[in-house]
A = this chain, B = another copy of it.
């Protein structure tokens, strides 16, 4: 595989034409929060607005037809990127909504069932009884934790979680204990946004299947960074965001198996997700429309589709290989700095490029500040994964995350910045 031509890639990203903090080169190491956008994505979105803008699935005029075509072509293309069929891909505003959609399917099925209301065929899988169990892990992003806490609070189901090993991985030895006959869904991350560890899916899928539980994978940090093919994962749902993979803000994706999506009652309701509507009651469209109430974010879908084209041109295997090289380099560089402690796996096997660390005697806020003054943009805090900080007894971490526009110079800038923070604070 040819290495990425980062210089050429960078030229596609207008933001690298600017400097930060009095003329410093922008070293953007916060793609785990959101990625930068290439001109191809910005152009695609703009062209939609300038040439084809209309409310999709609503009009019979030429613009509405073109807009609908563009939107549905985007769906097909994005679905293809993860090896899926267009009809199994639901657009949401972000990954958070996508995960909530599944959590609320359980809530809504449970409530409608208890009142004898109409439910789609197969919805029994989403009906919770008091004491049924929901399983997450201790390394989840808040987006894959709080919706399940809330679901448990509202239904009497019980939230259980898989613990973590000291080196930042799911503790497989606890699966048998945590995943039981009462488990209705197992929802875990594909790659931790704080630790960088990549989940070994086979054992957890096997444990969930053995008890008939559904499996949701939070793919926010995997789909942008490695080849992902849903036909090989063995899970029922994956959720991710467009903005972390070169796409626009304001669009997320939920993929689900056809028959599982078909069994779910709607979440957000309104226009375009209906079959017939009477004042007394309504019936609903098939997926994916059932889950896309209101005028959708068509321009963003078109932008995300252009992002997919961009990534496909590079090739996701090449993206992963590039990040792997950077990860190795960062781990090596940081190991050489006294007082740096990596929170997460210390070697690069089964590991993505999210690298969190603490510096003895210095708070992450202060590390981040000095890095920022050197033009190095990292994130500090709990990274929306507070329980992980607790697990490793740190109040917060400094996190650097890498993407296709980062190179070895950026790795060096990070290491230099950490050294100057140490020097500045005398630690």
Contact = CB atoms under 8 A, between A and B. Distances in A.
Interface residues on A, range: 35 or more
A145 B20 contact: no
Contacts of A141: 270-271
Interface stretch (A47-55, A121-129, A337-345, A408-416): A47-55
A49 to B, nearest CB: 5
A347 interface: no
A384 B271 contact: yes
Interface stretch (A77-85, A88-96, A322-330): A88-96
A33 to B, nearest CB: 4
Contacts of A379: 58-61, 64
Main secondary structure of the interface of A (DSSP, over half): mixed
A256 interface: no
Nearest to A67: B34
A377 interface: yes
A42 interface: yes
B18 A51 contact: yes
Contacts of A26: 63
B249 A295 contact: yes
A108 interface: yes
A377 B100 contact: no
Contacts of A36: 53
Interface of A: 14-15, 17-18, 20-21, 26, 28, 30, 33-34, 36-37, 42, 46, 49-51, 53-55, 58-64, 92-97, 99-100, 107-108, 111-112, 115, 117, 138, 141-147, 149-150, 153-156, 159, 161, 241, 243, 248-252, 266, 268-274, 276-282, 293-300, 365, 368-369, 371-372, 376-382, 384, 386-387, 390
Given A97-B294, A111-B155, A149-B281, 12 more contacts: A15-B53, A18-B51, A60-B380, A61-B371, A96-B268, A96-B293, A138-B279, A143-B269, A146-B270, A146-B273, A153-B281, A270-B384
